[in-house]
């Protein structure tokens, strides 16, 4: 179900749009449902809203029953893939703190490793001890995973402001994060990261570079 999806630095998250999309839900029992899917507004929502057609009653499908889903959108009928996955914080190939509940994650690019993303929309008011009069801008979180693991680990964040996408971390930090995540599995990966390359091709280049220089599976 998953295919390679190129993502450049300017992101247009699908979760900005509160409407149903044509698509297919793949269930863990091997069956599938084709109809209209409403994208979850939060990645950790535990149900997916689905209906067979525009006039049909909305059905809620539990996240633990879903393997993933795909939607089509736009004039060119672009296909976007989502899967259900546990998310974690910590090193990619070390000891991680894994969430107890699954999340809906978008497949950005798949190879020997996979890059996923989640999206968190605008949030007004106070968060923690910080006060933001204009609220907290939307953020896109990127996660890395590999076939042998049932979770993906947090890797990088984008924060949006004024219609532009601004990287929370600068290029030097990308290299440091790459070194931290791959120091056991592929310690030389950071040496292949070039600033202009990532500016042109986006964060999905991390998968291409891993495929070219690292890993055996």
Gyration radius from the chain CA atoms: 18
124 occurs within a structural domain = yes
Instruction: With respect to residue 1, please indicate whether it lies within any of the assigned structural domains.
Output: no
pTM across the whole model: 0.80
In a domain, 144, yes or no: yes
94 occurs within a structural domain? yes
Query: Do 82 and 69 form a contact (C-beta atoms < 8 A)?
Result: yes
Identify whether 4 is part of a domain: no
User: Using 50, 70 and 90 to split pLDDT, how confident is the model at 131?
Assistant: very low
Q: What are the contacts of 46-50 at 24+ separation with CB within 8 A?
A: 46/101, 46/102, 48/104, 49/20, 50/25
Write out pLDDT tens, residues 5-46: 444 333 444 444 448 999 999 999 999 999 999 999 889 999
Total of domains in the chain: 1
Range of the domain at 195: 14-213
User: Is 5 a member of any domain?
Assistant: no
Cβ contact 145:114 at 8 Å: yes
- Mean pLDDT, residues 202-206 taken together: 91
* CA 49 to chain CA centroid, nearest Å: 19
């Amino acid at each position: 179900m998953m295919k390679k999806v190129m993502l450049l630095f300017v992101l247009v998250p699908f979760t900005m749009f509160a409407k149903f999309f044509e698509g297919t839900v793949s269930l863990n029992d091997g069956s599938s449902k084709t109809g209209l899917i409403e994208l979850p507004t939060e990645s950790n929502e535990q149900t997916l809203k689905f209906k067979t057609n525009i006039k049909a009653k909305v059905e809620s499908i539990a996240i633990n029953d879903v393997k993933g889903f795909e939607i089509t959108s736009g004039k060119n009928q672009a296909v976007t893939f989502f899967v259900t996955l546990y998310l974690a914080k910590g090193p990619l190939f070390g000891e991680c703190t894994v969430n107890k509940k699954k999340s809906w994650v978008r497949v950005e690019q798949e190879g020997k490793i996979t890059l996923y993303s989640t999206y968190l929309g605008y949030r007004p008011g106070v968060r923690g001890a910080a006060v933001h009069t204009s609220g907290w801008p939307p953020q896109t979180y990127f996660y890395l995973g590999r076939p042998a693991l049932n979770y993906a680990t947090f890797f990088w964040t984008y924060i949006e402001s004024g219609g532009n996408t601004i990287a929370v971390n600068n290029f030097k930090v990308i290299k440091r994060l790459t070194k931290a995540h791959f120091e056991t599995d592929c310690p030389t990966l950071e040496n292949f990261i070039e600033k202009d390359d990532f500016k042109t091709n986006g964060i999905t280049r991390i998968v291409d570079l891993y495929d070219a220089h690292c890993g055996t599976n």
